[in-house]
């Protein structure tokens, strides 16, 4: 590994950043934003891409590329201005040993395991389920004892699994709804009000289409195998908290540091990581009234594990000091839109809507409007690292520039770019590299972060804080939030990138 050649220059430049001198001016949005430069974002993106390139093209957690990413972030954070901490934690990873689907003696090509599927083999007749298998009535009585073949889309994999299992199915095969490969995750059974999942596997679109045609309304003998072993691996979050500011009023700001295994993850979520580095640097020229804690989360791509570790292990007294969580996910999508989490549920139903989250949404709406730019609401659906904060009652919000979703004609009229094309055609792929960023969008997104940091770093007047005792949202509510409501809002789209919660 060539960490040293990469890290040394970064360390050298970091030492040039002075800590806030005594009597530094109180942070102000326009002054903080002025310190941010497109050229710095570009330089950081190049450094991060170099880390991926030197590490076999990936920065996924648990890989050397991710550890190098953490060292690199720390090299850019001024230790005079921030208390910097690594929060280590273990993740149990499922390593697939054998995953296969065989129908009528023919073995499917390119089968992927579904994380959190039970370990085992099921042999039974397979039956095709019409619709997307997202409501109980999609499953006929005939599915009992059989393997259900279900199309990907419209709701989470976990919900399909739970509904098929509740209808008595013995196994589940989901077929892809687009040609892009995916490593799917079921989430956890309690999210879907079941005690266990049924054995599952994921096949390609072409294979699924052929099987549906072959099966018609009939059945054929099939076997689904999903065998894995477990491996415990260490990873870490980085938390950098201003030494200045009221330590009982902490504004948390988060982005995830890991990429998917398939690619370098420069937009997803290198862009959030980089924006945070640059805002954290710029802030050192100012003082704050309220503490700011920049959080770089690990293992977002496997189901928000880093942020959930943080929020589920934080002592109640510490949690009560957190005023809000600002989340930045994919801040430079090449065919971007400026989407703001719909914290007041005006466009999308959400069990998480609250006065605090509504105020955060308004802060971002105002930022884009003042900057002469349009913005649209995006589902406040918990599909990113703010979810754990909502679960402990902390209001949240943030900006997202689009993942695999398709840009509408209206959005293209608002933001330019190409209607009918994905916001990020390289989402979760090897081409999510240095050339996959829109730097105009990137600097705007970074400034939106700076604006919120400056505003709330100065004052939280009018914000609901201190909160009444932390209110735990039942996990059950989450799965309901994951089911898109076709009757509400025209921007029906997931507001985050985590594949764990992907439909
Ligand atoms: C690099 O990636 C290739 C392809 O994914 C893989 O086969 C190989 O084992 C990886 N090497 C290391 C050192 O991780
Ligand atoms: C992680 O697991 C290893 C071995 O299983 C253990 O030694 C270590 O203390 C654990 N670390 C943390 C932070 O839990
Ligand atoms: C959860 O499942 C139990 C048992 O299957 C059922 O009685 C209950 O109504 C379900 N609750 C919800 C909220 O769906
Ligand atoms: C999964 O099942 C296989 C075969 O029975 C077994 O070897 C393996 O240890 C099991 N994995 C786990 C995590 O229990
Ligand atoms: C970027 O990081 C933020 C903060 O953790 C996270 O919410 C978001 O999901 C990440 N973006 C993507 C596209 O992964
Ligand atoms: C939040 O509550 C305050 C105080 O009740 C109220 O003045 C304000 O309008 C509310 N804000 C939003 C966005 O709902
Ligand atoms: Zn992602």
67 or 468: which leads in pLDDT: 67
Q: Is the pLDDT of residue 494 over 90?
A: no
33-42, 249-258, 310-319, 350-359 — most confident range: 33-42
275 vs 287: CA distance, rounded Å:
19
Asked whether 355 lines ligand 6 (CB < 6 A), one says yes
**CA 62 to ligand 1 center in whole angstroms:** 14
In this structure, CATH architecture of domain 94-229: 3-Layer(bba) Sandwich (3.50)
Asked whether 2 lines ligand 3 (CB < 6 A), one says no
Q: How far is CA 361 from CA 140, 295, 376, 408, in A?
A: 42, 20, 11, 22
Six-digit token string for 436: 């996959």
Q: Which atom of ligand 6 is nearest to the CA of 362?
A: 13
- Given 2.40.160.20, 3.50.50.60, 3.40.630.10, 2.60.40.10, which CATH number is that of 29-81+243-458? 3.40.630.10
Nearest bound ligand to the CA of residue 262: 1
Nearest bound ligand to the CA of residue 306: 5
Task: Summarize pLDDT for 242-301 with one digit per residue, the tens.
Answer: 999 999 999 999 988 776 655 555 555 578 889 999 999 999 999 999 999 999 988 766
Six-digit token string for 127: 């039956």
Q: Is the pLDDT of residue 491 over 50?
A: no
Among 5-14, 239-248, 283-292, 342-351, the range scoring the smallest mean pLDDT is 5-14
430 or 253: which leads in pLDDT: 253
Ion ligand 7, residue ranges at CB < 5 A: 268, 497
The residue whose C-alpha atom lies closest to atom 1 belonging to ligand 2 is 90
The residue whose C-alpha atom lies closest to atom 11 belonging to ligand 6 is 355
The pLDDT assigned to 144 comes to 98
Instruction: Tell me what percent of the chain is helix, strand and coil, each rounded to the nearest 5.
Output: 35, 25, 40
Average pLDDT over residues 307-320: 89
Task: Summarize pLDDT for 222-246 with one digit per residue, the tens.
Answer: 999 999 999 888 889 999 999 999 9
**CA 190 to ligand 4 center in whole angstroms:** 23
Task: Summarize pLDDT for 96-133 with one digit per residue, the tens.
Answer: 999 999 999 999 999 999 988 999 999 999 999 999 99
The residue whose C-alpha atom lies closest to atom 8 belonging to ligand 3 is 193
- Cross-strand pairs, 99: 226
Which residue, among 299, 257, 278, 261, has the nearest Cα to 439 in the 3D structure?
Answer: 278
Six-digit token string for 56: 């076999």
Each domain of the chain, given as residue ranges in start order, spans: 29-81+243-458, 94-229
Q: Which atom of ligand 2 is nearest to the CA of 88?
A: 13
């Amino acid at each position: 590994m060539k960490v040293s050649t990469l890290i040394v220059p970064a360390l050298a430049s970091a030492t040039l950043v002075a800590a806030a001198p005594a009597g530094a001016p109180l942070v102000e949005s326009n002054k903080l934003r002025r310190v941010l430069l497109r050229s710095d974002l570009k330089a950081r993106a190049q450094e991060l891409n170099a880390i991926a390139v030197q590490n076999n093209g990936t920065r996924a957690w648990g890989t050397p590329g991710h550890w190098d990413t953490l060292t690199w972030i720390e090299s850019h954070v001024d230790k005079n201005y921030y208390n910097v901490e690594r929060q280590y934690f273990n993740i149990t990873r499922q390593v697939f040993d054998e995953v296969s689907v065989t129908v009528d003696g023919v073995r499917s090509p390119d089968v992927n395991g579904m994380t959190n599927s039970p370990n085992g083999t099921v042999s039974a007749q397979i039956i095709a389920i019409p619709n997307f298998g997202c409501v109980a009535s999609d499953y006929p009585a005939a599915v009992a004892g059989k393997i259900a073949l279900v199309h990907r889309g419209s709701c989470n994999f976990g919900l399909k699994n739970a509904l098929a299992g509740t209808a008595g199915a013995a196994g589940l095969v989901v077929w892809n709804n687009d040609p892009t490969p995916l490593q799917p995750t079921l989430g956890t059974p309690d999210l879907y009000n079941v005690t266990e999942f049924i054995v599952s596997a994921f096949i390609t679109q072409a294979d699924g289409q052929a099987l549906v045609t072959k099966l018609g309304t009939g059945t054929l003998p099939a076997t689904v195998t999903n065998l894995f072993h477990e491996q415990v691996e260490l990873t870490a979050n980085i938390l950098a908290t201003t030494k200045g500011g009221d330590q009982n009023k902490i504004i948390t700001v988060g982005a995830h540091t890991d990429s998917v295994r398939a690619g370098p993850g420069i937009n997803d979520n290198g862009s959030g990581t980089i924006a945070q580095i640059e805002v954290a640097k710029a802030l050192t020229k100012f003082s704050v009234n309220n503490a700011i804690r920049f959080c770089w989360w690990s293992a977002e791509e496997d189901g928000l594990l880093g942020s959930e570790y943080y929020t589920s292990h934080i002592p109640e007294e510490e949690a009560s000091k957190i005023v809000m969580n600002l989340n930045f996910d994919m801040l430079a999508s090449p065919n971007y839109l400026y989407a703001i989490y719909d914290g007041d549920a005006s466009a999308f139903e959400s069990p998480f809507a609250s006065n605090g989250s509504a105020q955060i949404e308004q802060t971002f709406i105002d930022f884009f409007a003042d900057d002469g730019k349009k913005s649209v609401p995006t589902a406040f659906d918990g599909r990113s690292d703010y979810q754990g904060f909502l679960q402990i009652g902390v209001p949240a919000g943030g900006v997202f520039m689009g993942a695999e979703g398709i840009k509408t004609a209206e959005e293209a009229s608002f933001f330019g770019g190409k209607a009918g094309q994905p916001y990020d055609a390289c989402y979760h792929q090897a081409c999510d590299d240095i050339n996959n960023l829109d730097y105009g969008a990137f600097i705007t997104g970074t400034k939106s972060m700076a604006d919120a940091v400056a505003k709330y770093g100065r004052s939280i007047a009018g914000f609901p804080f201190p909160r009444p005792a932390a209110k735990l949202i039942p996990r059950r509510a989450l799965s309901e939030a994951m089911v898109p409501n076709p009757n509400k809002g025209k921007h029906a789209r997931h507001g985050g990138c985590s594949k764990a919660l992907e439909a």
